[in-house]
Amino acid sequence: MNLKRIQFFLFLFALNLFIGCSDSDEPSLAPVASVVIINEGNFSAANGSFDLYNKTSAEYSSNAFQSANDFPVGSTIQNAIISGDFILATTNAVDKLEIINKETFESITSVTTGLHTPFGVAANNEYAFLTNWGTFNSETFLYDNPEIITINLATFQISSTLALNIQPQHVVYVKDRLYVSDIGNYLSAGTTVSVYQINEGTLQPESTIDVQPGPDKMVIDANDNLWVLCSSGALVHIDTDKNEVVNTIQSVPVLGFNEKLTIDPAGTYLFWIASSGYPDYNSAIYRLEIANPSLSEPIIEGTNFHGLGVDEDNIFVGDHAAYQSSGKVLRFSDYDSAPKLIETLPSGLAPNGFIFR
């Protein structure tokens, strides 16, 4: 072999190296975007994220929190809401409430100490209220010491902790009261919604309302009344003046756990997801008109539906891609008549909800 051949091999080799060198395409931040996609992420990898989408310009940017802060938001993002200038997000890896500037996505601070598997979040002008499942017990596979934690949104300090004797799921704030769905656990489902009065950052139990097994997601309608979707397959309408059940719709198709119930901004239609589960993950979106609450056929059918959001024009559906990869988002028009698929957007891991700025 002569030197020319050696030269040729070295050239081949150097070529290999250059093939290995490719630049990344960093997404740019588009803080004006109206739609925020919440990607819950994978617990062990702490890779939850927020993606942004501008419906007008069709600009899309992924991982807005990481881009704005240069550190990750964590996993799993259980729930996120807008409260004043903030986005409040509960995460479980690590357990925290992340308080985020709604416009820039910069982290204002996070509250970690004292939280134990925070899940649901609600807020008024002064306080954020977090349901906490408690500490996971690896022997019983249940959560011990569930609680509701109140955080002062001026000081970002915990102002009170209320111990519960049942695992809570979601929390909503309406008419100066807090409504908490007492979901229980897989051995023993809860059957109540608890009502609490708020007194300078501390909670006083006021009453409990009997609903159906597994009360989960709750929304407030145009009349400030409460709708509770129970994972046993019931939709319960509660009058928040009397704290009484007005109507219970039975045999409602649901997901079975971690229900996704939402309402349009006008408060006139309820929307939720039902799934057939493995192996087909046949999913459907159901709609119920509050003025005429009778169950009808699904308005959207598909697979792998995981997150749901409705703004003034569109229905957004998050697709978890069988948890095998990043998911995607389906955007539909005509939420109040016959929805049509307008476009499909990318998403992060397990898009489980949307907020609209």
Give the residues lining the site for another protein (CB under 8 A): 1, 3, 6-7, 9-10, 12-14, 16-22, 24, 44-47, 62, 69-72, 74-75, 93-95, 107, 112, 138-139, 186, 233, 253-257, 274-282, 302-304, 319, 321-328, 346, 348-349
Minimum CB distance to another protein, residue 347 (Å): 8
- Give whichever of 136 and 241 is closer to another protein, judged by the CB atom: 136
Please state, in angstroms and rounded to a whole number, the distance separating the CA atoms of residues 316 and 294.
23
CA–CA dist 275, 296 (Å, integer) = 16
Q: How far is the CB of 304 from another protein (least distance, A)?
A: 5
For the CA atoms of 186, 189, 194, 200, the dihedral, rounded to the nearest 10 degrees, stands at: -20
Q: Please say whether the beta carbons of 211 and 230 come within 8 A.
A: yes
The answer to whether 33 and 59 are in contact (CB under 8 A) is yes
> Minimum Å distance from CB 233 to another protein?
8
Q: Which is nearer to another protein, 90 or 275 (CB)?
A: 275
Of the pair 12, 291, the CB lying nearest another protein is at 12
Q: Which CB, 187 or 291, lies closer to another protein? A: 187
Looking at beta carbons only, is 226 or 307 nearer to another protein? 307
Q: Looking at beta carbons only, is 139 or 176 nearer to another protein? A: 139
Cα separation, 177 vs 8, in Å, equals: 78
Closest contact distance (angstroms) between CB of 225 and another protein is: 27
Q: Alpha-carbon dihedral of residues 116, 120, 122, 126, nearest 10 degrees?
A: 10
Minimum CB distance to another protein smaller for 80 or for 274? 274
CB 153 within 8 A of CB 127: yes
Min CB(265)–another protein separation in Å? 28
DSSP 257: S
Identity of the residue numbered 306? H
**Minimum distance between the CB of residue 275 and another protein, rounded to whole angstroms?**
7
The minimum distance between CB 60 and another protein, in angstroms, equals: 12
CB 174 to another protein: min, Å = 29
Contacts of 96 (CB under 8 A, 6+ apart): 74, 90, 110, 111, 112, 115, 118
Report, in this order, helix, strand and coil percent for the chain, each rounded to 5: 5, 55, 40
Task: Indicate the residue among 140 and 197 with the shorter CB distance to another protein.
Answer: 140
CB under 8 Å, gap of 24 or more: what pairs does 143-146 form? 143/116, 143/117, 143/167, 143/185, 145/116
- Asked if residues 209 and 196 have their Cβ atoms less than 8 Å apart, the reply is no
